[in-house]
Amino acid sequence: MKSSSAGWGPQWLLKMSPDKQDTLLKMLVLSIAAILSFSTRLFSVLRFESVIHEFDPYFNYRTTRYLTEEGFYSFHNWFDDRAWYPLGRIIGGTIYPGLMVTSAVFYHALWFFNITIDIRNVCVFLAPMFSSFTTLVTYWFTKELKDAGAGLVAAAMIAIVPGYISRSVAGSYDNEGIAIFCMLLTYALWIKSVKTGSLFWSCLCALAYFYMVSSWGGYVFLINLIPLHVLALMLTGRFSHRIYVAYSAVYCIGTILSMQISFVGFQPVQSSEHMAALGVFGLCQMHAFIDYVRSKLSVEQFNILFRSIVLMGAVVSLSVAAIGTATGKISPWTGRFYSLLDPSYAKNNIPIIASVSEHQPTTWSSFYFDLQMLTIMFPAGLYFCFNRLTDANIFIIMYGVTSIYFAGVMVRLMLVLAPVMCILSGIGVSSTLNTYMKNLDVSRKDKKTSKKNVDHTYPFKNEVATGVVFLVTAFLITYTFHCTWVTSEAYSSPSIVLSARAGDGGRIIFDDFREAYYWLRHNTPEDAKVMSWWDYGYQITAMANRTILVDNNTWNNTHISRVGQAMASTEDKAYEIMRELDVNYVLVIFGGLTGYSSDDINKFLWMVRIGGSTDRGAHIKEADYYTPQGEFRIDKEGSPTLLNCLMYKMCYYRFGEVYTEGGKPTGYDRVRNAEIGNKNFDLDVLEEAYTTEHWLVRIYKVKDLDNRGA
Amino acid sequence: KIDVSTHLVKMSTSITLENTGKSPIKSFLYALEPSLQNYLSIITANVKDKDEKLGVSQTTVASKKDLSFWRIELPSNLEPGKTMTVDVDSSYAHALTPYPAEITQSQKQQVLYNGNVYFFSPYSTKSQTTTVTTTNTAIESYSKSPKPVSQTDRTVTYGPYEQREAFSEAELRVHYENNSPFLTVTNLERIIEVSHWGNIAVEEHISMRHTGALLKGPFSRYDYQRAQDGLSSIKAFKTVLPAAARDVYYRDEIGNISTSNLKEMDDFVELELRPRFPLFGGWKTQYYIGYNVPSYQYLFNKGDNYALKMRFVDHIFDDMVVDQVTVKIILPEGAKNMRLETPYPVTQGENQLHFTYLDTTGRPVIVIHKSNLVEQHIQDFQLHYTFQKLLLLQEPLIVVGAFYLLFLAVIVYVRLDFSITKDEAKESKMRVASLVEEVQSAHDRRSALYQSYDDAINKYKSTKDANTFAATRKKVDADYKSLTQQISDLQTKLKNEGSDLAEKVNELQVSDRQYKDLVALAITLAEKLVSGKINKQQYLDNEKINKTKREDLDSKMEALRSSLA
- What is the value of ipTM here, to two decimals? 0.78
How do residues B259-275 score in pLDDT, each as one tens digit?
Answer: 778 888 888 888 888 88
Contacts of A35 (CB under 8 A, 6+ apart): A132
Distance from CA of A700 to the nearest CA of B (A): 9
- H or E, element range at B353: strand B352-354
Cβ(A242)–Cβ(A196) below 8 Å: yes
Q: Does pLDDT of B501 surpass 80?
A: no
Residue B384: beta bridge partners? B307, B339
Q: Does pLDDT of B84 surpass 60?
A: yes
Give B28's pLDDT tier (boundaries 50, 70, 90).
confident
Candidates B208, B222, B365: best to mutate against A (most CBs of A within 10 A) is B222
**Chain B residue numbers touching A655 (CB-CB < 8 A):** 222
**Chain B residue numbers touching A521 (CB-CB < 8 A):** 254
CB contact under 8 A, B284 and A48: no
- Indicate the residue of B226, B276, B433 with minimum beta-carbon distance to A17: B433
How many H-runs (helices) and E-runs (strands) does chain B carry? 6, 32
Rounded Cα gap, residues B327 and B194, in angstroms = 13
- Indicate the residue of A497, A518, A657 with minimum beta-carbon distance to B222: A657
Nearest in space to A64 (alpha carbons), one of A103, A98, A93, A118 = A103
**Chain B residue numbers touching A695 (CB-CB < 8 A):** 221
Q: Does pLDDT of A135 surpass 60?
A: yes
Interface A-B: count of C-beta contacts within 8 A: 77
Per the prediction, chain A carries an average pLDDT of 84
Within 13 A of B26's CA, how many CA atoms are on the CB side? 2
**Chain A residue numbers touching B211 (CB-CB < 8 A):** none
Cβ(B343)–Cβ(B265) below 8 Å: no
Cβ(A141)–Cβ(A184) below 8 Å: yes
Candidates A652, A693, A697, A698: best to mutate against B (most CBs of B within 10 A) is A693
**Chain A residue numbers touching B252 (CB-CB < 8 A):** 518
Rounded Cα gap, residues A645 and A681, in angstroms = 12
Give me the pLDDT at residue A151, please: 92
- Say whether residue A509 is in contact with chain B using an 8 A CB cutoff: yes
* Nearest chain B alpha carbon to A540: B254
Q: Does pLDDT of B152 surpass 50?
A: yes
Give me the pLDDT at residue A631, please: 82
Average pLDDT rounded to a whole number, residues A610-615: 82
Average pLDDT rounded to a whole number, residues B339-357: 86
Distance from CA of B225 to the nearest CA of A (A): 9
Within 13 A of A693's CA, how many CA atoms are on the CB side? 16
Q: Does pLDDT of A2 surpass 50?
A: no
**Chain A residue numbers touching B430 (CB-CB < 8 A):** none
CB contact under 8 A, A692 and B277: yes
Side chain identity at A629, as an amino acid letter? Answer: Q
Rounded Cα gap, residues A110 and A122, in angstroms = 10
Nearest in space to A127 (alpha carbons), one of A152, A145, A148, A102 = A102
**Chain A residue numbers touching B355 (CB-CB < 8 A):** 114, 116
Backbone angles phi, psi at A154, to 5 degrees: -65, -40
Distance from CA of B282 to the nearest CA of A (A): 8
**Chain A residue numbers touching B226 (CB-CB < 8 A):** 657
How do residues B31-70 score in pLDDT, each as one tens digit?
Answer: 888 888 888 888 888 887 777 788 888 887 777 777 888 8
Classify residue A295 by burial, with Cβ atoms within 10 Å: 0-12, 13-18, 19+. Answer: exposed
How do residues A293-328 score in pLDDT, each as one tens digit?
Answer: 888 877 888 888 888 888 888 898 888 888 877 776
Rounded Cα gap, residues A589 and A596, in angstroms = 9
Cβ(A371)–Cβ(A160) below 8 Å: no
Contacts of B259 (CB under 8 A, 6+ apart): A511, B236, B273, B274, B275, B276
- Indicate the residue of A514, A690, A693 with minimum beta-carbon distance to B219: A690
Per the prediction, chain B carries an average pLDDT of 83
pTM of the model: 0.82
- Say whether residue A322 is in contact with chain B using an 8 A CB cutoff: no
Q: What is the DSSP string of B395-417?
A: HHHHHHHHHHHHHHHHHHHHH--
How do residues B204-259 score in pLDDT, each as one tens digit?
Answer: 999 988 888 888 878 888 888 876 666 777 888 888 888 888 888 888 888 888 77
CB contact under 8 A, B219 and A691: yes
- Indicate the residue of B252, B282, B356 with minimum beta-carbon distance to A518: B252
CB contact under 8 A, B254 and A692: no
Contacts of A616 (CB under 8 A, 6+ apart): A558, A561, A562, A565
Rounded Cα gap, residues B98 and B96, in angstroms = 7
Cβ(A654)–Cβ(B222) below 8 Å: yes
Query: What's A541's DSSP letter?
Result: I
- Indicate the residue of A17, A116, A691 with minimum beta-carbon distance to B437: A17
Give me the pLDDT at residue A456, please: 53
How do residues A224-244 score in pLDDT, each as one tens digit?
Answer: 899 999 999 988 888 888 899
Contacts of B437 (CB under 8 A, 6+ apart): A17
- Indicate the residue of A18, A521, A689 with minimum beta-carbon distance to B219: A689
Most confident of A638-647, B191-200, B226-235: B191-200
Candidates B254, B260, B283, B410: best to mutate against A (most CBs of A within 10 A) is B254
**What distance lies between CA B299 and its chain's CA centroid?**
13
* Nearest chain B alpha carbon to A20: B433
Rounded Cα gap, residues A438 and A258, in angstroms = 48
Residue B85: beta bridge partners? B16
Distance from CA of B217 to the nearest CA of A (A): 8
Q: What is the DSSP string of A228-280?
A: HHHHHHHHTT---HHHHHHHHHHHHHHHHHHTTSTTTTTHHHHSGGGHHHHHH
**Chain A residue numbers touching B356 (CB-CB < 8 A):** 114, 116
Give me the pLDDT at residue A342, please: 65
Give A257's pLDDT tier (boundaries 50, 70, 90).
very high
